[in-house]
Structure 1
Amino acid sequence: MILALEIERLADCSGTQLPRTTIDALKNLHPSDIAEALETSGCSPSQLVEILFQIGNHKSCDAFAQLDIETQQACLEATHAQTMLRFVENMEPDDRVDLLKAVDEDVREAIMPLIAQAERNDIRRLWNYAEGTAGAAMTTEYAVLPQHVTVAEALEQMRLQAPNKETIYTIHITDSQRRLLGILSLRDLIMSKPRITLDAIMQTRVISVPHDMAEEDVAAVIAKYDLLAVPVVDGDNRLLGIITVDDVIDIMEAENTEDFQRISAVVPFDEGYFKRPLPQLFWSRFLWLAVLLFTSLLSTTIMEMNSAVIHQMVALAFFIPMVTGTCGNAGTQSATMVVRALALGEVGPGDFLRVFRRELFMGLALGMTLGLMAYFRVYLQDQNMLLGWTVGVALLATLLTANLTGALMPLVLKKLRLDPALTAGPFIATVIDAVGISLYFQIAMLLMNVMK
């Protein structure tokens, strides 16, 4: 943080030419720390590019790759294409495609002819995969060897391949048609005798994923099998690329961020908090709040329709917040647990009946326990048995309904291929509030008629 402030101060005072001591300090940092210092410095995109050039060497390219995509986009759009070529060419293939998709079309058309032919072909291949799939997230910089080479020959080829590959810890063995035959860890390669061929030591039972698998499902595969990378294949088992564990971390972070935003009733966005323009941030929050406002009006309408019941027993109104708040919290609990279980692959739409039975018993247990507590609390305070029974039975009914609704709605949305996170948070609480108030007054009218 101190270095970032120094960069900003010096850049403001003297353009972008930083003192040698500051440049040396940056050179001694990890590329991620350089990127963080530049991100928080407040310098303009053109200043950031100039500072990266002053850092020089390969570390500046690594630092550029660690910048947020919004900052990368701003730098690319503010600087001549020829100047930015070295940074773009040194990016990982999947990250490079993401950046080129983000920039303006005229900027993309200016830099594409400057990129080497092999990289351009790679960009076009990755460009065609749908967003959110394994194909869009994979890198094509992986270690690959034919099956009939010896260990000694393989080690020599790995020395040649290593500088241009994202990872060489897992080596992929393919035939002449690039069909995936097996994999081999670098450790096993080093430990094997020099004259043995790779087909004798490779693992033929390979965990791979299809190119159209959803990113979050790929993350689940890597987590389940503790993989450093997973191969991505087409329908004929031809090797297309790999997804590494660091890509999975980014995928999981993005998925978790999106889920938290949906749970909080915010339209998902990719930018950082301070990088999101205020008008866009306003609309991200306003749209869901407007929906929730009109949904909450349903509760007001139900209360107006039952005003006669309130006139007969005014004390009923005092306990509405307790009933709606408790059932809303219960529904949110159930929804959150099921959404998380869906994300971890512990449950699926096929478990509908199992989840129903489990939450039915849980709703009854919670409803009876909290209902009895509410009954004694109301009766001891107001000495009104009818009011106590109304609140207690209403809590039982609303908690049971909230528990089932909160648990089953995510499964229904998953079956419909919608995001289950939509059901958690304010949305489920607002819906259950309306249901809870309706049940509360229906039970009150029923008990009034019975106990007359």
Structure 2
Amino acid sequence: MILALEIERLADCSGTQLPRTTIDALKNLHPSDIAEALETSGCSPSQLVEILFQIGNHKSCDAFAQLDIETQQACLEATHAQTMLRFVENMEPDDRVDLLKAVDEDVREAIMPLIAQAERNDIRRLWNYAEGTAGAAMTTEYAVLPQHVTVAEALEQMRLQAPNKETIYTIHITDSQRRLLGILSLRDLIMSKPRITLDAIMQTRVISVPHDMAEEDVAAVIAKYDLLAVPVVDGDNRLLGIITVDDVIDIMEAENTEDFQRISAVVPFDEGYFKRPLPQLFWSRFLWLAVLLFTSLLSTTIMEMNSAVIHQMVALAFFIPMVTGTCGNAGTQSATMVVRALALGEVGPGDFLRVFRRELFMGLALGITLGLMAYFRVYLQDQNMLLGWTVGVALLATLLTANLTGALMPLVLKKLRLDPALTAGPFIATVIDAVGISLYFQIAILLMTVMK
């Protein structure tokens, strides 16, 4: 933070030419720390590019790759294409495609002819994969060897491949048609005898993913099998690329952010909090709040329709917030747990009946326990048995309903290929409020009729 403030102050005072001491301090940092310092410095995109050039060497390219994509986009659009070529060419293939998709078309057309032919072909291949799939997230910079070379020959080839590969810890063995035959760890390669051929030591049972698999499913595969990277293949088992564990961390962060935003009733957005313009931030929040407002009007309408009941027993109105609040919380609890279980692959739409039975018993247990607590609280304070029974029974019925609704709705949405996170948070609470108030008054009417 101190270095970022110093960069901003010096850039304001003397253009973008920073003192040697500041540049040396930046050179001694990790690329991620350099990117953080530049991000928080407040410098313009053109100033950031100039500072990166002053840092020089490969570290500046690594630091540029660590910048937020919005900052990368601003730098690319604010600076001459020839100037930015070095940074763009040194990016990972998947990150480079994401950046080129984000920039204006005229900027993209200016820089594409400057990129080496091999990288351009790579960009075109990755460009066609649908967003959110394994193909769009993979990198094509993987270590690959034929099956019949010896260990000694393989080590020599790996020395040549290593500088241009994202990772060499897992080596992929393919045939002449690029079909994936097996994998081999660098450790096993180093430990094997020099004259043995790779087909004798490679693992032929390979865990791979299809190119059209959803990113979150790929992340689950890597987490389940504790992999550093997973190969991506086409329908003929041809090797297309790999997805590394650092890409999975980014995928999981993006998925968690999106789910958290949906749970909080915010339209998902990719930008950082301060980088999203206020008008867009307004609409991200307004749209869901407007939906929730009209949904909550159901509760008001139900109360107006039962005004006669409230006139007969005014005290009923005092406990509406308690009943609806408790049930909304219960519905949110069950929805959040099931959404989380869906994300981890612990449950699926096929587990509908199992989840129903489990949450039925849980709803009854919670409803009976909390209903009895509410009954004794009302009866002991107000000395009104009818009111106590009404509140207690209503709490039981609404808790059971809320628990089942919160648990089962995510499964239904998952079956319909919608985001289950839509059911958690304010949305489920608002729906349960309307259902809870309706049950509350119906139970009150029934008990008032029976106990007259």
Report matched runs for 1:233-252 at 5 Å.
233-252=233-252
**How many angstroms apart in 2 are the aligned matches of 1:149 and 1:44?**
52
**How many angstroms apart in 2 are the aligned matches of 1:437 and 1:36?**
50
Displacement after TM superposition at 1:239 (Å): 0.1
Which string of whole-angstrom CA distances, capped at 9 and with x for unpartnered residues, describes residues 336-393 of structure 1? 0000000000000000000000000000000000000000000000000000000000
- Structure 1: runs of 5 or more not aligned: none
Following TM superposition, where does structure 1 have runs of at least 4 consecutive aligned residues deviating by more than 3 angstroms? none
Displacement after TM superposition at 1:166 (Å): 0.1
Which string of whole-angstrom CA distances, capped at 9 and with x for unpartnered residues, describes residues 231-260 of structure 1? 000000000000000000000000000000
Which string of whole-angstrom CA distances, capped at 9 and with x for unpartnered residues, describes residues 59-114 of structure 1? 00000000000000000000000000000000000000000000000000000000
Task: Name the SS for the 1:242 alignment partner.
Answer: strand
Report matched runs for 1:390-405 at 5 Å.
390-405=390-405
Displacement after TM superposition at 1:430 (Å): 0.2
**How many angstroms apart in 1 are the aligned matches of 2:420 and 2:60?**
41
**How many angstroms apart in 2 are the aligned matches of 1:121 and 1:302?**
62
Displacement after TM superposition at 1:18 (Å): 0.2
Which string of whole-angstrom CA distances, capped at 9 and with x for unpartnered residues, describes residues 12-65 of structure 1? 000000000000000000000000000000000000000000000000000000
Displacement after TM superposition at 1:324 (Å): 0.1
**How many angstroms apart in 2 are the aligned matches of 1:132 and 1:344?**
17
Displacement after TM superposition at 1:429 (Å): 0.1
**How many angstroms apart in 1 are the aligned matches of 2:222 and 2:61?**
28
Which string of whole-angstrom CA distances, capped at 9 and with x for unpartnered residues, describes residues 301-359 of structure 1? 00000000000000000000000000000000000000000000000000000000000
Task: Name the SS for the 2:243 alignment partner.
Answer: strand
Which string of whole-angstrom CA distances, capped at 9 and with x for unpartnered residues, describes residues 105-159 of structure 1? 0000000000000000000000000000000000000000000000000000000
Displacement after TM superposition at 1:441 (Å): 0.1
Displacement after TM superposition at 1:218 (Å): 0.1
**How many angstroms apart in 1 are the aligned matches of 2:34 and 2:372?**
60
**Aligned match of 1:415:** 415
**Aligned match of 2:123:** 123
Task: Name the SS for the 1:294 alignment partner.
Answer: helix
**How many angstroms apart in 2 are the aligned matches of 1:365 and 1:84?**
63
**How many angstroms apart in 1 are the aligned matches of 2:221 and 2:38?**
35
Which string of whole-angstrom CA distances, capped at 9 and with x for unpartnered residues, describes residues 380-439 of structure 1? 000000000000000000000000000000000000000000000000000000000000
**How many angstroms apart in 2 are the aligned matches of 1:122 and 1:413?**
37
**How many angstroms apart in 2 are the aligned matches of 1:199 and 1:406?**
52
**Aligned match of 1:276:** 276
**How high is the sequence identity, in percent, across the aligned residues?**
99
Displacement after TM superposition at 1:7 (Å): 0.1
Displacement after TM superposition at 1:219 (Å): 0.1
Displacement after TM superposition at 1:167 (Å): 0.1
Displacement after TM superposition at 1:271 (Å): 0.3
**How many angstroms apart in 1 are the aligned matches of 2:99 and 2:311?**
64
**How many angstroms apart in 2 are the aligned matches of 1:21 and 1:396?**
69
Displacement after TM superposition at 1:206 (Å): 0.2
Task: Name the SS for the 1:119 alignment partner.
Answer: helix
**Aligned match of 1:68:** 68
Task: Name the SS for the 1:275 alignment partner.
Answer: coil
- Structure 2: runs of 5 or more not aligned: none
* Aligned residues between the structures: 452
Task: Name the SS for the 2:109 alignment partner.
Answer: helix
**How many angstroms apart in 2 are the aligned matches of 1:56 and 1:345?**
45
Report matched runs for 1:33-432 at 5 Å.
33-432=33-432
Task: Name the SS for the 1:143 alignment partner.
Answer: strand
Displacement after TM superposition at 1:447 (Å): 0.2
**How many angstroms apart in 2 are the aligned matches of 1:356 and 1:392?**
23
Task: Name the SS for the 2:41 alignment partner.
Answer: coil
**How many angstroms apart in 1 are the aligned matches of 2:140 and 2:340?**
32
**How many angstroms apart in 2 are the aligned matches of 1:345 and 1:295?**
31
Task: Name the SS for the 1:389 alignment partner.
Answer: helix
Displacement after TM superposition at 1:264 (Å): 0.1
**How many angstroms apart in 1 are the aligned matches of 2:82 and 2:254?**
32
Which string of whole-angstrom CA distances, capped at 9 and with x for unpartnered residues, describes residues 199-221 of structure 1? 00000000000000000000000
Displacement after TM superposition at 1:194 (Å): 0.1
**How many angstroms apart in 2 are the aligned matches of 1:153 and 1:280?**
57
**How many angstroms apart in 2 are the aligned matches of 1:221 and 1:414?**
19
Which string of whole-angstrom CA distances, capped at 9 and with x for unpartnered residues, describes residues 283-307 of structure 1? 0000000000000000000000000
**How many angstroms apart in 2 are the aligned matches of 1:33 and 1:362?**
48
**How many angstroms apart in 2 are the aligned matches of 1:394 and 1:70?**
51
**How many angstroms apart in 2 are the aligned matches of 1:249 and 1:62?**
18
**How many angstroms apart in 1 are the aligned matches of 2:433 and 2:158?**
63
Task: Name the SS for the 1:421 alignment partner.
Answer: helix
**How many angstroms apart in 1 are the aligned matches of 2:276 and 2:230?**
34
Task: Name the SS for the 2:205 alignment partner.
Answer: coil
Task: Name the SS for the 2:284 alignment partner.
Answer: helix
**How many angstroms apart in 2 are the aligned matches of 1:309 and 1:369?**
26
**How many angstroms apart in 2 are the aligned matches of 1:33 and 1:161?**
28
Displacement after TM superposition at 1:223 (Å): 0.1
